[in-house]
Copies of this chain bind each other. A is one copy, B any other.
Amino acid sequence: MGTGPIRTALKVDFGRPAQKQPYFHNRWHPDIPAVGKIAPGEIVKVECVDCSGGQIKNDDCADDARDCDLTQPHYLSGPFEIKGADPGDVLVVEIQDVQPFEDRPWGFTAVFDRHNGGGFLDDHYPRAAKGELTATKAIWDFEGIFCSSRHIPHVRFPGLIHPGIMGCAPSAGVLAEWNRRESELVAASAPGRVVALLPQPENVHAGSASEDLKARIGREGARTIPGRPEHGGNCDIKNLSRGSKTYLPVHVPGAKFSVGDLHFSQGDGEISFCGAIEMAGIITFKFGLMKGGIQDLDMKSPIFCPGPVEPHFSPSRMLTFEGFSVDETGRQHYMDVTVAYRQTCLRVIEYLRRFGYSGEQIYLLLSCAPVQGHVAGIVDIPNACTTMGIPMDIFDFDISPGAPIPELDMGSCAYTSDRR
């Protein structure tokens, strides 16, 4: 008569490499075999590894971040067949909870070398000797709803745990469109500049696909790095957390829903690329279906409502910085929000550095703390304007403009072992 425990639809085995576990995949392709079925209305748990598949360790050295193999991420859990889902439907994904594993109460934030993934500020951080690769990282310990890091002292904040990636499989047509347009971008770009990641057979993981199918998926499958309008994917939207409801377009029979790249917390932009607090964890879902929903909602990209329990800061406790589309060399760009947001980030770094943090520490912090990045003005030529709000309550000292600067030991983030 009563209610039983919740079914775990996918269980991770931390004793085996992610590559060897048949219920993961790291490319988007309609033909990756489903790992199970879920009925609309059923509540299920799905376990996930971290985005790197365990490449980054809980230690004080960033060599693993420097050497991280980027042909592997992201290891996604799935795809799941949703019973009754057809192309044209909308899959309603309610995230009822997201939690770290009890015995893995930690996560990491890393900055990769500009020649290995880079990041939003890779002209500035980290700086390697010529011809060498470098990286930094910070390990975060979870204390219930909070996290703190031995690598960035005097900061603590509640997590807004969320999956960086959710999406249904592309149809063959959608996949072809992705490959077309991203190939055209690559073709139109300067040789040697990495502007998009085209299909990559190396390290492809296609779940339980046969060798033939796997090889084809390696040739055709879309990389999971970017989000894409047709299905969402790697959106890195920090608000897709507990209690949120996301409306995803369905492109293939059974929807083939996948999820991964869990974040304990992330700032708007996830600026350091591997910039959220990456973690393994367990996500609790309930699915719904809107038959024919794509047409009914005139939907081209996912829609969502955040949950009701986001960390709650007073607006008057958000110290906020502005940036414009004039870059650090003094060059005027035309309405470029990307440039403006980068300038905004640099303004915050300049401000917080005064308290004794290194630029690298702040870069890591802005990637993963619950900072608010807003588009402010986008029509006053030639200057776009963006803002970044920093919740002052996450620091255990007063960072407001009038406050005296205390003498605090800010320690150090993790660097690579060859740092001189």
What residues of B have a CB within 8 angstroms of the CB of A298 in the complex?
Answer: 350-351, 353-354
Assess whether A375 is in contact with B374, with CB atoms less than 8 Å apart: yes
What residues of B have a CB within 8 angstroms of the CB of A382 in the complex?
Answer: 182, 185, 195-196, 226
A419 to chain B, nearest CB (A): 18
Interface string of A267-311 (1 = CB under 8 A from B): 011111101000000001010001001000111111111111111
Indicate which residue in B302, B313, B343 contacts A301 across the interface (CB closer than 8 Å): B343
Which residues in window 58-89 of A have CB below 8 A to B?
58-60
Of all chain B residues, which has the CB nearest A400?
Answer: B305
In the complex, A104→B2 CA distance in Å? 10
Indicate which residue in B3, B226, B269, B302 contacts A106 across the interface (CB closer than 8 Å): B3
What residues of B have a CB within 8 angstroms of the CB of A271 in the complex?
Answer: 378-379
A319 interfacial by beta-carbon distance below 8 Å: yes
Which residues in window 362-384 of A have CB below 8 A to B?
372-384
In the complex, A24→B226 CA distance in Å? 49
A253 interfacial by beta-carbon distance below 8 Å: no
Which residues in window 288-343 of A have CB below 8 A to B?
290, 293, 297-324, 326, 330-338, 341, 343
In the complex, A284→B145 CA distance in Å? 10
A385 interfacial by beta-carbon distance below 8 Å: yes
Interface string of A238-263 (1 = CB under 8 A from B): 11001110010000000000000000
A235 interfacial by beta-carbon distance below 8 Å: yes
What residues of B have a CB within 8 angstroms of the CB of A406 in the complex?
Answer: none
- Mark the stretch among A14-22, A95-103, A123-131, A202-210 that contacts chain B: A95-103
Assess whether A318 is in contact with B334, with CB atoms less than 8 Å apart: no
Assess whether A326 is in contact with B228, with CB atoms less than 8 Å apart: yes
A5 interfacial by beta-carbon distance below 8 Å: yes
Supposing A235-B377, A237-B376 touch, asked if A304 and B320 sit within 8 A by C-beta, the answer is yes
Assess whether A301 is in contact with B321, with CB atoms less than 8 Å apart: yes
In the complex, A338→B375 CA distance in Å? 9
A395 interfacial by beta-carbon distance below 8 Å: no
Q: What is the oligomeric copy number?
A: 4
What residues of B have a CB within 8 angstroms of the CB of A92 in the complex?
Answer: 401
What residues of B have a CB within 8 angstroms of the CB of A402 in the complex?
Answer: 290
In the complex, A72→B270 CA distance in Å? 41
A420 interfacial by beta-carbon distance below 8 Å: no
What residues of B have a CB within 8 angstroms of the CB of A381 in the complex?
Answer: 194-197, 225-226
What residues of B have a CB within 8 angstroms of the CB of A13 in the complex?
Answer: none
In the complex, A320→B246 CA distance in Å? 9
A57 interfacial by beta-carbon distance below 8 Å: yes
Of all chain B residues, which has the CB nearest A297?
Answer: B401
In the complex, A373→B332 CA distance in Å? 23
A120 interfacial by beta-carbon distance below 8 Å: yes
A361 interfacial by beta-carbon distance below 8 Å: no
A402 to chain B, nearest CB (A): 7
A189 interfacial by beta-carbon distance below 8 Å: yes
What residues of B have a CB within 8 angstroms of the CB of A322 in the complex?
Answer: 227, 229, 232, 235, 237, 301-304
Which residues in window 28-47 of A have CB below 8 A to B?
43
Assess whether A308 is in contact with B242, with CB atoms less than 8 Å apart: no
Supposing A95-B144, A312-B309, A401-B247 touch, asked if A347 and B182 sit within 8 A by C-beta, the answer is no
Of all chain B residues, which has the CB nearest A286?
Answer: B143
Assess whether B229 is in contact with A341, with CB atoms less than 8 Å apart: no
Assess whether B225 is in contact with A380, with CB atoms less than 8 Å apart: yes
A119 interfacial by beta-carbon distance below 8 Å: yes
Assess whether B320 is in contact with A306, with CB atoms less than 8 Å apart: yes
A173 to chain B, nearest CB (A): 12
A residues near B (Cβ < 8 Å) are: 1-6, 43, 57-60, 90, 92, 95-97, 102-106, 118-120, 139, 141, 143-146, 158, 177, 181-182, 184-185, 189, 194-197, 225-229, 232, 234-239, 242-244, 247, 268-273, 275, 284, 286, 290, 293, 297-324, 326, 330-338, 341, 343, 347, 350-351, 353-354, 372-387, 389, 393, 400-402
